[in-house]
Structure 1
Amino acid sequence: MFRHQKELQFEVKVDRPDPVFARQVQEVLGGQFGEMTVMMQYLFQGFNCRGEEKYKDMLMDIGTEEIGHVEMLCALISQLLDGATPAEQQKAAEDPVTAAIMGGINPQHLLVSGLGGLPTNSNGVPWNGSYIVASGNLLADMRSNLHAESQGRLQVARLYHMTTDEGVRATLRKMLARDRYHQYQWMAAIQELEEKNGVVVPASFPPEAEQESQPEAYEFWNLSEGTESGEGLWAKGSAPDGTGNFVYISNPVPKGQIYEPLIPATELHHDLNGETIEK
């Protein structure tokens, strides 16, 4: 059960309207790494969680918080659009000063949403359910969550430096702080799961099950010019799970055969039977 409270999680109060910035804020609302994505991702992971109850409860807590963040961003976009009208957009073509404020307005904020937030990114591309990850494997999902929060916080930080409106910045600072906590949270969950089951996903398919393919689990193949990649921790030292040592292969060679596919049936019209077609 969900219950809506009228108060926003944090205050949203802009100093002045800015339709151009409203369009930019759409990215962190309905973009690939926006609040709609993490909201749906955490909720679907929580809905479908079959593991320990504490993980399900945490996912539902944070997913529900993200619903509030979507609401905050919609309020922010609405305030940034206050006073925007088709007449003002037309006037922007005549007055350079007005054009600086109104010229870059997203037409859909006028035509589709009536001066409100949209489930789209900053270019108007609709939010897509394929953005979310909810695999049922807790470690895989928590790593995806850390990635999403990292990209989301990065975009909010970039937005922060694209405005001088202190009211907007105050809202963005709250989001930056919460996104920082969420990164801490996923890091803690990842650490706990790795200590329990190991660092490789899925833990239910252990290294020894790879049988004769074991050596390939530790080889770094140099497949580009130069050898600088050999200086990384991924090319020397021990694997994170302690099961083996990395080996740098400076001149890798193919280990497979040359594949020669069969010629398909003539009914498929590949025209590959080697015969000249009479005309």
Structure 2
Amino acid sequence: MFRHQKELQFEVKVDKPDPMLARQIQEVLGGQFGEMTVMMQYLFQGFNCRGNEKYKDMLMDIGTEEIGHVEMLCSLISQLLDGASPDDQAEAAKDPTIAAIMGGVNPQHLLVSGLGGLPTNSNGVPWNGSYIVASGNLLADMRSNLHAESQGRLQVARLYHMTKDEGVRATFRKMLARDRYHQYQWLAAIEELEAKNGVVVPASFPPEMEMESQPEAYEFWNLSEGTESSDGLWATGSAQDGSGDFVYVKEPVAKGQVPKNKVPAESLHHDLNTIDALK
């Protein structure tokens, strides 16, 4: 059961309207790494979590918090659009640099939402359910969550420096602090899960089941020009689970065969036989 509370998690107040900034903020609302994505990702992971009550409860706590963050951003966008008119939007887009970068402000804020937030990114592309990861494997999901929070916080940090509006910045500072905590949280969950099952997903397919492929788990193949990659721990260190040492393969050699696919039936109209006849 969900219940809406009228008060926002944190205060949202802007110094003055700014339709261009409203468009930019759409990215951290409905973009690939926006609040809608983490909201849906954590909730679906929580809905589908089986047999791990503390993880399920944690996912539902954070997923529900993210619903509140979506509402905060919608409130922020609405305030930035307050009093905006078609004339205001046209004026904001007159600067040639802004027009070139942004293509003007978002007309859908006027035409579609009536000066409100939209479930889209900053270019008006609708939010997509394929953005979320909910695999049913806790460690895999927690790592995806860390990635999502890292990208989301990065984008909010960039937005922070794109405005001088102290009211907007105050809201962003709260979001940045929460996104920082969420990274701590996922790192703690990852550490706990790795201590239980190891660092490789899925733990239910152990290295021994790879049989003759064991050496392939430790080799770094140099497949681009230069050898600078040989300096990294991925090439000179040991596997994080202590199962073996990495090997740098400076001049790797292909170990497979040349594929020779059969010519398909002529009813598929590939014209391959015709081409051969013309040679």
Query: TM class by shorter-chain length?
Result: over 0.9
Deviations 1:216-264 (A, max 9, x none): 0000000011111000000012100111110000000000001111111
Determine the structure 2 residue equivalent to 1:186: 186
State the AA in 1 paired with 2:77.
I
Determine the structure 1 residue equivalent to 2:154: 154
5 Å-filtered alignment, 1:251-262, equals 251-262=251-262
Percent of counterpart pairs with the same letter?
A: 85
5 Å-filtered alignment, 1:139-178, equals 139-178=139-178
State the AA in 2 paired with 1:109.
H
Distance (Å, rounded) in 1 between the aligned partners of 2:276 and 2:142: 57
Runs in 1 of length 4+ with deviation above 6 angstroms? 93-96
| CA 90–250 in structure 1, closer or farther in 2 if over 3 Å, else same | closer
Distance (Å, rounded) in 2 between the aligned partners of 1:227 and 1:22: 46
Determine the structure 2 residue equivalent to 1:23: 23
| CA 226–91 in structure 1, closer or farther in 2 if over 3 Å, else same | closer
Shift in Å at residue 146 of structure 1?
0.1
TM-score (norm 1): 0.94
Aligned residues: 272
Shift in Å at residue 94 of structure 1?
8.1
Determine the structure 2 residue equivalent to 1:68: 68
Gaps of 5+ in 1: none
| CA 234–92 in structure 1, closer or farther in 2 if over 3 Å, else same | closer
The question of 1:213 aligning with 2:213 is answered yes
| CA 12–265 in structure 1, closer or farther in 2 if over 3 Å, else same | same
Determine the structure 2 residue equivalent to 1:244: 244
Deviations 1:149-188 (A, max 9, x none): 0000000000000000000000000000000000000000
Shift in Å at residue 95 of structure 1?
9.9
Distance (Å, rounded) in 2 between the aligned partners of 1:31 and 1:52: 30
Shift in Å at residue 268 of structure 1?
1.3
Distance (Å, rounded) in 2 between the aligned partners of 1:141 and 1:92: 42
Conserved 8 A contact 1:38-1:148: yes
Distance (Å, rounded) in 2 between the aligned partners of 1:46 and 1:160: 31
Gaps of 5+ in 2: none
5 Å-filtered alignment, 1:9-20, equals 9-20=9-20
Distance (Å, rounded) in 2 between the aligned partners of 1:90 and 1:62: 40
Find the residue that maps to 2:220 and give its secondary structure.
Answer: strand
Range that drifts further, 83-92 or 141-150: 83-92
5 Å-filtered alignment, 1:101-120, equals 104-120=104-120
| CA 6–220 in structure 1, closer or farther in 2 if over 3 Å, else same | same
Structure ranking higher in helix proportion: 2
Range that drifts further, 143-152 or 260-269: 260-269
Determine the structure 2 residue equivalent to 1:83: 83
| CA 249–172 in structure 1, closer or farther in 2 if over 3 Å, else same | same
